[in-house]
Amino acid sequence: MKKIILFSLLLSIAFGATAQDSFKKYGMKSCIAKKITTTGGHVTEGTVYIDNYGAFECDIQTIDVPGFITYDMGVLTRKDRIWTFNINEGKVQSKESPNPLSDFNLLEITDEMAQKYEMKDLGEEEILGKKCRKISYVVMQNRKRVDWTVWAYKGFPLKTIVKQRRQESVIEVTEFKENVPIPKDILNLIPE
């Protein structure tokens, strides 16, 4: 279960960060989005923080194993680098790596990207009162097909369905605020 949640986190945040300073991943300067992820009947809550049009992105989920442990885990992206991390009792443990999906951008879909990820435009739908573009695409992860459907507002997914084999995860934003300041403790969670 933990692997599936981490995999969903990794892929949901990894898409689109880029090394080009002029490039925008999202059509908003910043946002804070509260979300719920449901995988196999297990529900986790989390928050996504976006700053500088997506040059900084942090996705944190609280993992609660009743009677055993509660901790935060997440993924932080700064342009073309990505960190997976755990926060337990105030201590941050992280691992850095290149962002494998740095060419992915739902705000500006190129023909090359559409072909590479088998993207399909499924029209428009409203989520949280926002007009969203519904898009499906495929990502190969360790030679396994992962099917994605997202409802993107200004390039940011307000709803996501991820299917791999018989496993399905649904990520739904429950509260969304754009162009708001990001807390300094989040911005400094993992020093540059």
Q: For 82-123, write each residue's pLDDT tens digit.
A: 888 888 877 888 888 887 777 788 988 899 999 999 999 999
List the one residue out of 78, 80, 37 whose CA is nearest residue 58.
78
List the one residue out of 40, 74, 69, 44 whose CA is nearest residue 56.
74
User: Quick one: pLDDT at residue 19?
Assistant: 35
- Please report how many Cα atoms fall inside a 13 Å half-sphere around the Cα of residue 67, on the Cβ side: 0
In a domain, 192, yes or no: no
Q: What is the CATH number of the domain that holds 174?
A: 2.50.20.10
Expressed as residue numbers, the domain containing 54 is 2-187
Q: How many domains does the chain have?
A: 1
pLDDT tens for each residue of 43-75: 999 999 999 999 999 999 988 777 777 888 888
List the one residue out of 40, 60, 62 whose CA is nearest residue 48.
60
- Which residues, 6+ apart, have CB-to-CB distance to 137 below 8 Å? 117, 118, 119, 120, 147, 148, 150
Pick from 9-23, 104-118, 132-146: least confident: 9-23
